[in-house]
Amino acid sequence: MPAELITVSLFRDVRDEPWGFNITGGKAFDEPLSISHIHSKSIAERLGLKIEDILIKINGEEAEGFTYEDACEEIAKGEDSFDMVIERSCTGRKTSYEKSSTAFSIVLGQGKTEVFQDSEAFLTNRVEMER
């Protein structure tokens, strides 16, 4: 089945907000790291990550030799942002696309209004070629 490589950039302003996905596999299981669950209303869901997306790179590091623990550590290094390249099976005609998601919160009260950007994510299947 044909597959496409997709670059995913995740950002959040609230460190306590989870990314919203679980991973499985890794070197210890002799399986590629992949997304096993997407949490409802999460950054991952808004971005369009899918179950069975395979992690190819995390923060520019090849994920092929990573254990589950290595992958979790690499994601945690980014604290409030990180990048991934994922491989996704595709059916039908391949098209280029980009998708972004930004979440905001508004605080009202005491005569003032404040707007905060809570999270931001960007996804594209236009992978930059390494030089």
Q: How confident is the model at residue 124 (pLDDT cuts 50, 70, 90)?
A: low
- Of all residues in the chain, the percent with pLDDT exceeding 90 is 44
What CATH number does residue 63 fall under? 2.30.42.10
- Between 47 and 110, the higher pLDDT residue: 47
pTM of the model: 0.70
- In the DSSP assignment, the letter for residue 126 is -
CA distances from 111 to 68, 103, 114 (A): 49, 24, 10
Q: Residue 43 falls within a domain, yes or no?
A: yes
The whole-number pLDDT of residue 95 equals: 54
Q: How confident is the model at residue 3 (pLDDT cuts 50, 70, 90)?
A: confident
**Residue that has been written with the tokens 């999460």 in this structure:** 42
Cβ neighbors of 14 (< 8 A, separation 6 or more) are 118, 119
Q: Residue 131 falls within a domain, yes or no?
A: no
By the 8 A CB rule, do 22 and 44 touch?
no
Q: How many domains does the chain have?
A: 1
Transcribe 25-86 into DSSP letters: EEGGGTEEEEEEEE-TTSHHHHHT--TTPEEEEETTEE-TT--HHHHHHHHHHTTTEEEEEE
Q: According to the per-residue pLDDT averaged within each range, which of 13-22, 29-38, 95-104 is highest?
A: 29-38
- In the DSSP assignment, the letter for residue 130 is P
- Between 2 and 52, the higher pLDDT residue: 52
The domain of 7 spans 3-124
The whole-number pLDDT of residue 11 equals: 87
